[in-house]
Amino acid sequence: MHSGSVGAIKLSSGNNNNNRKSKVKLSHRSKSMGPPPATTSSQPKVVTGDHGYILEDVPHLTDYIPHLPTYPNPLQDNPAYAVVKQYFVDMDDTVAQQIVVHANSPRGTHFRRAGPRQKVYFKSEDVHACIVTCGGLCPGLNTVIREIVASLHDMYGVTRIEGIEGGYRGFYSRNTIQLTPKKVNGIHKRGGTIIGTSRGGYDNNKIVSSIQDRGINQVYIIGGDGTQKGASAIYEEVRRRGLQVAVVGIPKTIDNDIPVIDKSFGFDTAVEEAQRAIDAAHVEAESNENCIGLVKLMGRNSGFIAMYATLASRDVDCCLIPESPFYLEGPGGLFEYIEKRIKENGHMVIVVAEGAGQDLVAESLRTNDNKDASGNKLLNDVGLWLSQKIKDHFKKHPEMEFNLKYIDPTYMIRAVPSNASDNVYSTLLAQSAVHGAMAGHTGFIVGPVHGRECYLPFYRITEKQNKVVITDRMWARMLSSTNQPSFLSTKDIIESIMDEAPPTQLLDDQGAQNGSVAKETTVC
Ligand SMILES: Nc1ncnc2c1ncn2[C@@H]1O[C@H](COP(=O)(O)OP(=O)(O)OP(=O)(O)O)[C@@H](O)[C@H]1O
Ligand SMILES: O=P(O)(O)OC[C@H]1O[C@](O)(CO)[C@@H](O)[C@@H]1O
Ligand SMILES: [Mg+2]
């Protein structure tokens, strides 16, 4: 890591922010009208333009604190970036949510493109940043921490960066850790998070008071859907109090249940790690007579890890996920398929996501609705349940020797360091987050849409969970790779279409065609 140096080389080209004649109608904020009046409560910022163009913009500090001074971006003096032709992102750059279009399609929803801006709203020496990680572990957490520190320090010359220990509750119950480039050097080679994480302990008022009392003015919040709901409420309270504090969410989850963005960091690593368990199950299944290798993978409400691990492996004969109901007995059921595969092949591999078949398990175990500290429903162990059910079924066929090897890698797929591609992804994510905060944006989440880093309003991420769409081509590809039954009746298919999940780039483009955002937001 090099330290941030301020050289004499000026970027000669790059920004043409003010040259472009914009045709958009700014329904919330107009360039020609000057700064908007300060408001204490945020509303979606939706900008419309020609040919059905819609920009779902993110808040800016000047939305509620007008007349904030601006400063030249220190990056313009950074020798490392001097060679880049157009380093600063044009203010008008936006990224289309849908890239598969027809000749007459409206231009549709867009998001603000992430990246460094020519003007910043914080003086480097005034920045006091903090980073917090919440929820379950995910490969790449340390990389994001490292790169936020590196970006703030090396690009913007910021020296006051603190780590909030142990998740949200750390804001009001723990001391902070000073994060310096030296302290974070090499942490991306380790799993976990060096500042700790937790579930529960969210107290909006105490958290914002702690931010205010400590004089923190940039808050980087790394976590999943629950964390981002909390981050959104923190932003609202910060705004209500009129604080010049940028609140930035960095979505994290191995489950990939965050909508809109291409995928979440750590997902690739988790899928890769899941391969080891599947490989082991396959070896066991192949080497023993009439053997089933059963692997349970994480995925509470979304079966992306199981689906992608199955597709990647090609050794899996059946993949069960929360989004696709299945049944055990009778024609078209799981037992019938198992018997068929065992007869044909002498072995089989089943992958089950932890959230799959929860209704069946609950029915047979009659368990209570227990919750974790964050209020997430605690799941019954579908892996153990399914093992027992399969064993019981084969007891009815004593003439047939039968084996089952159950592998539950649980935390092993998420407690590992991130792989190379997740490291690069996390680096870009962290840099984009820092550029956005320095440029005065707030109340946003950063993430890639069609490979371009974007700033997305919180509500886009928190309103729905990303799920596997079982009427999408990706699930069909998976089914055709395993040859398993779909377990679906026509009624299930119709229900699934009605209950369509939000668009995600990990799904087929077909999925992304559904649901216009404009309908869901208030144009103000
Ligand atoms: N609706 C909410 N409003 C405010 N805070 C919340 C909300 N939901 C969860 N939180 C807080 O966010 C933190 C993390 O939430 P949670 O345990 O659900 O993990 P997550 O961010 O969803 O990540 P994971 O992917 O591991 O589930 C916790 O401290 C929790 O109290
Ligand atoms: O046991 P914990 O740490 O509460 O988390 C388990 C959950 O976290 C996740 O890994 C999501 O972060 C889920 O896949 C899993 O159900
Ligand atoms: Mg969650």
Catalytic residues: 255
pTM of the model: 0.89
Distance in angstroms between the alpha carbons of the first and the last residue of the chain: 45
- Domains 8-264+418-457 and 267-415+469-488 equal at CATH topology level: yes
pLDDT at residue 512 in the model = 41
- Report ipTM (2 d.p.): 0.99
DSSP string covering 102-143, please?
-TT---EEEEEEPS--SEESS-GGG-EEEEEE-SS--TTHHH
> Which protein residues touch ligand 2 with a CB less than 6 Å away?
135-136, 199, 224, 253-255, 298-300, 354, 372, 414
Residue 134 near ligand 1, beta carbon < 6 Å: yes
Backbone Cα Rg of the chain? 25
Ligand 1 and 223: CB distance under 6 A: yes
Residue 251 CB less than 6 A away from ligand 1 = no
Which residues have C-beta within 8 Å of that of residue 155, sequence separation ≥ 6? 4, 74, 75, 78, 116, 431, 434
Task: State yes or no: 346 annotated in a binding site.
Answer: no
Q: Over the stretch 344-402, which tens digit does the pLDDT of each residue have?
A: 999 999 999 999 999 999 887 766 678 999 999 899 999 999 999 999 999 988 888 89
Domain boundaries along the sequence of the chain:
8-264+418-457, 267-415+469-488
Least confident piece of the model among 84-88, 314-318, 339-343 = 84-88
Strands 246-251 vs 444-449: parallel, antiparallel or unpaired: parallel
Pick the CATH number of 267-415+469-488 from 3.40.190.10, 3.40.50.460, 3.90.1150.200, 3.40.50.2300: 3.40.50.460
Top CATH class of 8-264+418-457 equals: alpha beta
Phi then psi dihedrals of residue 368, to 5 deg: -85, 165
> Which residue's alpha carbon is nearest to atom 8 within ligand 2?
136
Distant-in-sequence, close-in-space partners of 415: CB < 8 Å, separation ≥ 6: 137, 191, 192
**DSSP per position, 350-404:** EEEETTTTHHHHHHHH-----B-TTSPBPPP-HHHHHHHHHHHHHHT-TTS--EE
Q: Is the per-residue pLDDT at 144 higher than 70?
A: yes
pLDDT in tens, 232-260: 999 999 999 999 999 999 999 999 999 99
